[in-house]
Chain A
Amino acid sequence: MDYRFLPKKGLSLFVDGLLKDFKVYGPVKMDGFPVYEEVSSAKELLLMHSPSHITPKKYLFPQRETLLRFKTGEKPQVEHAADADNQVLFGIHPCDIHAIRLLDRVFAYGTPDVNYLRRREKTIIIGTECLPDKFCFCRSVNTMTAANDFDLFIHDIGAGFLVKIGTEKGKELLFRHVKTRKATIKEISKLVEFHKKKESMFTASINAEPSTLPLIYSGSYDSPVWEEIGKICYGCGSCNLVCPTCYCFDVRDDISLNMKDGERYRVWDGCLLEDFAKVAGGHNFRKTRGERLRHRFNRKFQFQVDKFGGLFCVGCGRCSRACLVNINIVEITNKLIEERETGKKE
């Protein structure tokens, strides 16, 4: 992999250059918390922070998105809507880089999702390093670092930035806008050192190898854990909506008041919400909150693994961070591991 060195001053030049051709989104501070917003200069960017509360997936899979526009009348017309701008997602943390890799697979699977894929095609991903907080556990699910799946990865090494080239597209953009030089071994080793430091910063960790988690979850269907946490869960769906790998949506039609045209759109949905698995006639396949929680946890550690071949939890800890009743994905997983090891279901 190619590593370049970008002098300190180069960053704002680089961002200014990108802004000529792209909308640039990156982590900024809102009310003291990190969030992803559109930026207009490098100064606004928070390049070393804990995870944002809402994920950057919204730029690839928006909260509300028009799928098609239609016209009524004697000859109804339908036009597919896939609006996408060229965009740069700047400052994407390794967990979210992994999450985007997973979403790429999901939306290409079966009937490819044109809206997502078109947007993805027009997106440049620039990764950065981050600082874990008490909810982060990427170290436990092998997503603490990102080897690829980004166009560029920028790491602050004091005197300047170490830039890892991920794709030709990324390289071309870097070379077009700023002068860099080949990074020295010493400079490259600073990233390795940072990883070592980061590794020691985690307080949350899962007490089993990631590869064993599908098995642990498949054996936990009848665990009393689900009813316990089901009792305190609000069913508010916050865990779904802040999750970088949750991708469920609902599709609705809206006709204009002139009754002549309208649109079909999709909005984020979440399996923790009461009506998610409710069908015509009123039957609900997952009526209790406990069943819904079990379903979500299994989607991350078992069902999706069977289908796509990897864990669908990237360890960002956002679901635990967003949960008002402290349902913590690491604690629950460790409890299931313990139940399996001791054979006891308390």
Chain B
Amino acid sequence: MTKNMPKPKVAFFSFTCCEGCQLQVLSCEDELVDILNLIEIVNFREAIDEKRDDYDIAFIEGSVSRQHEIEEVKKIREKANVVVALGACSSTGGLNCLKNKFPMEEVKKVVYGEKSKYYKYFDTIPARPLDAVIPVDYYLHGCPITKSEFLNVLKALLTGKRPDMPNYPVCVDCKMTGNICVFEKGKTCMGPVTRAGCDAICVTYGAVCWGCRGTVDNPNTESHEETLRIYGLTADDLVRSFDLYGGWNKYGGSK
């Protein structure tokens, strides 16, 4: 980028989610000064008061789970040249899609309280990923996203490159990190079908992969079901494992 070029204007938006992915962006503390030398942030509720609508790049966090959110993301799409889905809720629908298993009226009763006579007035629709509503240019996966991946996507966009998005499973990240496979320890995980890029952080710190980044492009889910069965998972466990972050594909309907 040359010195006199205007800085690209960037906006961050948040829909149904915990806003943890935006926090990951804000936690790039050592990099924030450099970032602000490169871009102008014009809309970022979690960080600034200013709200402008003249943005080039929109990072959209959260899944779409209310009727009026559909209209809002469509407006963002019209204004932005580039739309990036920020985090699992946005990129795959995330945990929110678990509610799609139940009738929406039931969900409202549970969330807002059956005793409240107002629960029926709340607007809710089955939760969906961003690309079920508008075209998405790039994806930042994960619950939450990783800082380094956010920075890589930002740098790629600013230098006119296609951002790298791993299409290989977490097994690769585990081998790169030198982790002992959790299956070797008699546990199970979703790593073999889950998109990598997280440096297998959960396994590295003693947990297992829950599949928050969604699946690789062509996961061998039949093989994985069989593997999990061999490792002692019941049919019910299997459903839970695949549904935790894969709810949209199963209960969401077509995009």
* A30 pairs with B172, CB closer than 8 A: no
| B172 contact from A58, A241, A325, Cβ within 8 A | A241
> Given contacts A257-B31, A322-B181, are A236 and B168 in contact (CB under 8 A)?
yes
- Determine, out of B125-133, B138-146, B216-224, the stretch whose residues face the partner at the interface: B216-224
Q: How many A-B residue pairs have CB under 8 A?
A: 94
Contact A35 B171, beta carbon cutoff 8 Å? no
Give which listed residue, A53, A58, A233, A242, contacts B220 with CB less than 8 A.
A233
**Partner of A257 from B151, B171, B184, B193 at Cβ < 8 Å:** B151
**A233-B193 Cα distance, complex, nearest whole Å:** 11
Which of A103-111, A270-278, A329-337, A338-346 sits within the interface? A270-278
Q: Does B201 lie at the interface of the complex (its beta carbon under 8 Å from any beta carbon of A)?
A: no
Q: Kindly state the interface size class of chain B when it binds its partner.
A: 35 or more
B241 to chain A, nearest CB (A): 14
- By CB atoms of chain A within 10 A, which of B34, B168, B175, B193 has the most? B175
Interface string of A234-250 (1 = CB under 8 A from B): 11111001100000000
Which of A53, A58, A234 touches B181 (beta carbons < 8 Å)?
A53
Shortest CB distance B242–A (Å): 15
Taking CB atoms, residues of chain A closer than 8 Å to B184 are 33, 53
Q: How far is the CA of A53 from the CA of B180 in the complex (A)?
A: 7
Residues of A within 8 A of B193 (CB): 234
B175 and chain A: residue at smallest CB distance: A241
Once A53-B184, A267-B176 are accepted as A-B contacts, the answer to whether A234 and B192 lie under 8 Å apart by CB is yes
Quick check: is A268 within 8 A (CB to CB) of the other chain?
yes
A54 touches B178 (CB 8 A): yes
**Interface membership of chain B positions 1-42, coded 1 if the CB is closer than 8 angstroms to chain A and 0 otherwise:** 100000000000000000000000000000100110110000
Given contacts A63-B176, A232-B223, A236-B172, contact A324 B167 (CB under 8 A): no
Whole-angstrom distance between the alpha carbons of A267 and B217 in the complex? 21
Give chain A residues whose Cβ lies under 8 Å from the Cβ of B164.
252
Given the complex, which residues of B lie within 8 Å of A256, measured CB to CB? Answer: 34
B176 pairs with A236, CB closer than 8 A: no
Within 8 A of A (CB), among B55-73: none
Are B176 and A64 closer than 8 Å at their CB atoms? yes
B168 and A257 contacting across the interface, CB-CB below 8 Å:
no
Cβ of B169 and Cβ of A236 under 8 Å apart?
A: yes
A238 to B200, CA, bound (A): 14
**Given contacts A234-B192, A234-B193, A268 and B168 within 8 Å (CB-CB):** no
Bound form: Cα–Cα A237–B175 in Å: 9
Please indicate the chain A residues that have their CB under 8 angstroms from the CB of B167 in the complex. 273-275
Closest CB of chain A to B159's CB: distance in Å? 6
Number of interface residues of A (CB under 8 A): 36
B79 adjacent to chain A (CB < 8 Å)? no
For B192, list chain A residues within 8 Å (CB). Answer: 234, 236, 324
Partner of B35, one of A64, A238, A254, A257: A257
B residues 201-236 with Cβ under 8 Å of A? 216-220, 223-224, 226-227
Is the CB–CB distance between B176 and A275 below 8 Å? Answer: no
Q: Which residues of B contact A200 (CB under 8 A)?
A: none
| CB-CB under 8 A for A255 and B155, given A35-B178, A53-B181, A233-B223 | yes
If A257-B155, A274-B218 touch, whether A237 touches B34 (CB-CB below 8 Å) is: no
Evaluate whether A234 and B159 lie within 8 angstroms (CB atoms) in the complex, with A33-B184, A241-B176, A257-B151 already known.
no
Question: How far, in whole Å, are A236 and B176 apart by their CA atoms in the complex?
Answer: 13
| Contact B38 A259, beta carbon cutoff 8 Å | yes
Contacting pair A258 B34 (CB below 8 A): yes
Q: Does B185 have its Cβ within 8 Å of any Cβ on chain A?
A: yes
Cβ of B183 < 8 Å from any Cβ of A? yes
- Nearest neighbor of B168 in chain A, beta-carbon distance: A273
Instruction: Please judge, given known A-B contacts A273-B168, A275-B168, whether A238 and B175 are in contact too, CB under 8 Å.
Output: yes
When the two chains form their complex, are residues A54 and B38 in contact, meaning their CB atoms are under 8 A apart?
A: no
10 more A-B residue pairs beyond the given contacts A256-B34, A257-B38, A258-B37, with a C-beta to C-beta distance below 8 A: A33-B180, A33-B184, A238-B171, A238-B181, A254-B152, A255-B159, A257-B35, A257-B151, A275-B167, A275-B168
> Which 3 A-B residue pairs are closest in the complex by CB-CB distance?
A241-B175, A257-B34, A236-B171
